[in-house]
């Protein structure tokens, strides 16, 4: 299976991490029709509409970092460099916005 893994270091308390995770999930839900559930301290998701339909993933977060692992559909895999760049920028913006 093809995977894309994006890791972002962050030094934050639990409250801030929870806010970051909630914002990431909200953004993915709005853009890709994300359906998610919490499983063993992680967020597991699948995208149900749009260009990401069928994409699955997992979001793990701690007070030292965030790790997003994605099993992309064919389209996202073909454009993975743009996908990674876009996700990194979005994560940076969310972290900066929450850490204020």
In this structure, which long-range contacts are made by residues 56-60, counting pairs with CB atoms below 8 Å and at least 24 apart in sequence?
Answer: 59/21, 59/24, 59/25
Element containing residue 94 per DSSP (H, E) = helix 80-98
In this prediction, residue 100 carries a pLDDT of 63
pLDDT tens column, 29-81? 888 888 999 998 899 999 988 888 999 999 999 989 999 999 999 988 999 89
Who contacts 49 (Cβ-Cβ below 8 Å, separation ≥6)? 32, 33
Q: Is the pLDDT of residue 97 over 70?
A: yes
% of the chain with per-residue pLDDT over 90 = 48
Q: Which pLDDT band holds residue 99 (cuts at 50, 70, 90)? A: low
**Distance (Å, rounded) from C-alpha 78 to C-alpha 100?**
36
**Distance (Å, rounded) from C-alpha 26 to C-alpha 7?**
19
Sorted by where each starts, the structural domains of the chain and their CATH numbers stand as 4-98 (3.30.310.80)
């Amino acid at each position: 299976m093809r995977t894309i893994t994006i890791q972002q270091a962050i030094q934050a308390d639990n409250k801030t991490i929870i806010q970051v995770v909630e914002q990431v999930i909200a953004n993915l839900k709005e853009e890709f029709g994300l359906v998610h559930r919490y499983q063993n301290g992680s967020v597991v998701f699948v995208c149900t509409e749009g260009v990401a339909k069928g994409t699955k993933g997992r979001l793990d977060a701690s007070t030292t970092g965030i790790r997003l692992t994605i099993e992309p559909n064919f389209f996202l895999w073909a454009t993975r460099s743009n996908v990674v760049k876009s996700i990194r920028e979005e994560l940076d913006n969310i972290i900066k916005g929450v850490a204020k």
